[in-house]
């Protein structure tokens, strides 16, 4: 007996749930969990189905393709751990949280490698016996640097790339290569305080809440589909530095929660939004 997850999305039509679940039934695949959503604004259908049984992927998918509307997207995902490569710069909090949650079993992912443009986090990474690659950007154009990055990253054939406070902007080439597979943590409750020194901005504005946003990376900086957002309360006693610390706490928590949803195949990207089933 195997466990697999069927992800389907297509334009909505009558009887889709019935058609899909019929085919599962016909293939003697037991539905362990099913959740679906129809976005009536766009008339789009989304379904996530956890299946258990003996799979013949080819015939199963063939039957599905016959039943589903043309241009329907469906994928059958094995239940193995997802492989991720983590990009970092100098800040330890997000990387450390992912490393520790993976170590203690609360995050079920395979960290293939950590890649940084400085060596500051090499020691932390290697504590957990994970390869660290320092790819400095010194004296390199953005393009040259990314070429070197991609050489390292591509070799791991990662399912996802996690930007755990990686402080450089990626080029369209890079982003397109890993479309909807790059997860970034943004130091703010988007769309507020976009840009530099967000905590100084927040401090100057006298806000009472600090937020963070995890999103997929697109070529519109900070505008990609949002996966998870959360906030943490602050008050007048917080300096800009205190707000930054509060921000780090919520950043790592939001990134871990988003990553958990993504690597367990709960997240659909549709247009510039996510549907999380």
Looking at the annotation, which residues are catalytic?
222
Q: Supply the minimum distance, in Å, between the C-beta of residue 115 and its own copies.
A: 19
Please tell me the distance from the alpha carbon of residue 192 to that of residue 133, in angstroms, as a whole number: 33
Residue 204 in 3-state DSSP?
helix
Nearer to its own copies, 13 or 62 (CB): 13
What's the token pair of residue 253? 């928590």
Nearer to its own copies, 116 or 211 (CB): 211
* Residues found near its own copies in the complex (CB under 8 A): 14-15, 17-18, 21-22, 24-25, 28, 30-41, 92-93, 96-97, 99-100, 103-106, 124, 127-128, 189-193, 205-209, 211, 225-231, 235-237, 239, 245, 248-249, 272-276
Please tell me the distance from the alpha carbon of residue 162 to that of residue 112, in angstroms, as a whole number: 11
Q: Which of 274, 175, 160 is nearest to 226 (CA)?
A: 274
Nearer to its own copies, 24 or 182 (CB): 24
Q: Supply the minimum distance, in Å, between the C-beta of residue 239 and its own copies.
A: 7
Nearer to its own copies, 97 or 146 (CB): 97
Residue 194 in 3-state DSSP?
coil
In which order are the strands placed within the sheet that holds 110-116? 132-134, 110-116, 83-88, 160-163, 182-186, 209-216, 226-233
């Amino acid at each position: 007996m195997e466990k697999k997850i069927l992800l389907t999305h297509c334009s909505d039509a009558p009887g889709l749930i019935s058609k899909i679940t019929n085919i599962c039934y016909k293939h003697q695949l037991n539905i362990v969990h099913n959740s679906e959503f129809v976005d009536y604004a766009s008339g789009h259908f989304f379904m996530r189905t956890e299946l258990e049984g003996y799979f013949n992927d080819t015939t199963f998918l063939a039957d599905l393709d016959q039943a589903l509307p043309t241009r329907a997207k469906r994928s059958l995902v094995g239940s193995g751990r997802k492989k991720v490569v983590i990009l970092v710069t100098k800040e330890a909090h997000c990387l450390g949280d992912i490393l520790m949650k993976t170590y203690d079993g609360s995050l079920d992912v395979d960290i293939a490698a950590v890649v940084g443009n400085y060596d500051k986090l090499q020691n932390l990474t290697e504590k957990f016996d994970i390869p660290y690659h320092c790819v400095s950007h010194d004296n390199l154009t953005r393009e040259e640097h990314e070429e070197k990055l991609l050489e390292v990253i591509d070799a791991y054939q990662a399912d996802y790339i996690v930007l755990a406070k990686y402080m450089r902007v990626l080029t369209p080439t890079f982003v397109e290569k890993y479309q909807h597979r790059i997860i970034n943590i943004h130091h703010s409750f988007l769309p507020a305080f976009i840009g530099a020194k967000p905590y100084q901005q927040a401090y100057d504005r006298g806000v009472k809440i600090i937020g963070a946003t995890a999103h997929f990376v697109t070529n519109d900086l900070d505008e990609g589909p949002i996966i998870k957002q959360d906030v943490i309360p602050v008050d007048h006693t917080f300096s800009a530095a205190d707000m930054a610390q509060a921000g780090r706490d919520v950043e790592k928590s939001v990134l871990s929660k988003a990553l958990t949803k993504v690597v367990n195949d709960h997240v659909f990207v549709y247009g510039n939004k996510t549907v999380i089933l």
